[in-house]
């Protein structure tokens, strides 16, 4: 199933995508009780998904909205807490990052975790703000996003996938000058609008293997990143297991699982995003997000 949040930031609505149409779940449900937003849907669990499947089967096409007519928001416009992220989770990216900074290449022995502020979350087709007085080194990073489906702590690796609700596409937009100047990732990763995601959440049952997905980024139509999630150093089960040690994961938590090689700062010469540039991030079987630098 493919779930979207659409409408306006002040009046978001929950929808189910089927082909080129969207079922407005609140309208279709009528008096039936259904979750009204993405976080509530995730918390409601499998029973809600079964109820929605039955509802969709009897919703006539005339009651569906054309997907192209809707403004899609981030699937979870207002996460309850920061977006969890991984750095250096693809070997080639770890290599290019070290070489670009004149450092010895060392692959991480443990996941490199950091977070992006909730205010960074942005829609799949909305503009990304770029203030030259704040940063002049805005960079792209296409990533597979994992959505946690239920609360868990100290989750064993063999059960980790039971805690995954679904997947989305994330662009971990990064202000490299702020990263280096502040000696940590948070500030440079958390500018307003610097975490576009979407275009929807694909439920886990739709993705047979999250570690066999093509993952790409294009800037102004030119391919900059082209890899596969098979190249992750730490897999989704490993990430969930390690992150949940002593730290309770909650329904609706978003985990961006790292980016492959091809980022701007590691190129010769370095390349950074400029106003008017269009960035497309794509993950196979999930979709494409497209954002203009403004």
DSSP single-letter state for residue 160: G
The last residue of one of the domains, among 69, 96, 114, is 69
| C-alpha atoms less than 13 angstroms from C-alpha of 114 in its C-beta half-sphere | 18
184 part of a folded domain: yes
| Same domain membership, residue 115 and residue 7 | no
272 part of a folded domain: yes
| Same domain membership, residue 185 and residue 87 | yes
- With vertex at residue 68, the alpha carbon angle to CA 67 and CA 74, rounded to the nearest 5 degrees, is 70
| Same domain membership, residue 281 and residue 150 | yes
Task: Tell me which residue range forms the domain holding 44.
Answer: 2-69
233: CATH: 3.90.850.10
Q: How far is CA 164 from the centre of its chain?
A: 13
| Same domain membership, residue 14 and residue 158 | no
Token code pair at residue 214: 């093509």
| Same domain membership, residue 192 and residue 62 | no
Token code pair at residue 53: 């499947």
Token code pair at residue 188: 């440079």
| Same domain membership, residue 20 and residue 106 | no
Number of domains the chain is built from? 2
Token code pair at residue 43: 């918390």
| Same domain membership, residue 9 and residue 122 | no
| Same domain membership, residue 121 and residue 46 | no
76 part of a folded domain: no
| Same domain membership, residue 150 and residue 23 | no
CA quadruple 223, 87, 3, 122: dihedral sign = negative
78 part of a folded domain: no
| Same domain membership, residue 192 and residue 275 | yes
| Same domain membership, residue 208 and residue 139 | yes
The last residue of one of the domains, among 69, 97, 114, is 69
The last residue of one of the domains, among 69, 104, 125, is 69
Taking only the tens of pLDDT, the chain with its 294 residues reads: 999 999 999 999 999 999 999 999 999 988 778 999 999 999 999 999 999 999 999 999 888 999 999 999 999 999 999 999 999 999 999 999 999 999 999 999 999 999 999 999 999 999 999 999 999 999 999 999 999 999 999 999 999 999 999 999 999 999 999 999 999 999 999 999 999 999 999 999 999 999 999 999 999 999 999 999 999 999 999 999 999 999 999 999 999 999 999 999 999 999 999 999 999 999 999 999 999 999
């Amino acid at each position: 199933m493919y779930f979207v949040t659409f409408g306006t930031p002040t009046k978001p609505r929950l929808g189910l995508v089927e082909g080129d149409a969207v079922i407005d779940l609140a309208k279709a449900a009528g008096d039936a009780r259904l979750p009204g937003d993405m976080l509530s849907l995730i918390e409601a669990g499998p029973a809600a998904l079964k109820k929605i499947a039955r509802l969709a089967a009897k919703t006539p096409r005339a009651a569906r909205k054309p997907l192209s007519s809707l403004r899609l928001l981030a699937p979870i416009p207002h996460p309850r807490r920061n977006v969890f992220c991984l750095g250096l989770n693809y070997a080639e990216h770890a290599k290019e990052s070290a070489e670009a900074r004149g450092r010895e290449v060392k692959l991480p022995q443990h996941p490199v975790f950091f977070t992006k502020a909730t205010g960074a979350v942005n829609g799949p087709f909305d503009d990304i703000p770029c203030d030259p007085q704040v940063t002049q080194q805005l960079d792209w990073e296409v990533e597979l996003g994992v959505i946690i489906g239920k609360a868990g702590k100290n989750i064993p690796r063999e059960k980790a996938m039971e805690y995954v609700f679904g997947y989305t596409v994330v662009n971990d937009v990064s202000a490299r000058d702020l990263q280096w100047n502040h000696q940590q990732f948070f500030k440079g990763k958390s500018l307003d609008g610097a975490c576009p995601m979407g275009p929807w959440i694909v439920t886990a049952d739709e993705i047979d293997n999250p570690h066999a997905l093509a993952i790409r980024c294009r800037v102004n139509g030119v391919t900059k990143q082209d890899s596969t999630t098979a190249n992750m150093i730490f897999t989704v089960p490993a990430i969930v297991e390690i992150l949940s040690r002593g730290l309770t994961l909650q329904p609706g938590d978003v985990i961006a699982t790292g980016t492959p090689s091809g980022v701007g700062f590691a190129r010769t010469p370095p390349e950074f995003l400029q106003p008017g540039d269009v960035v497309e991030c794509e993950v196979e079987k999930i979709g494409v997000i497209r954002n203009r630098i403004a």
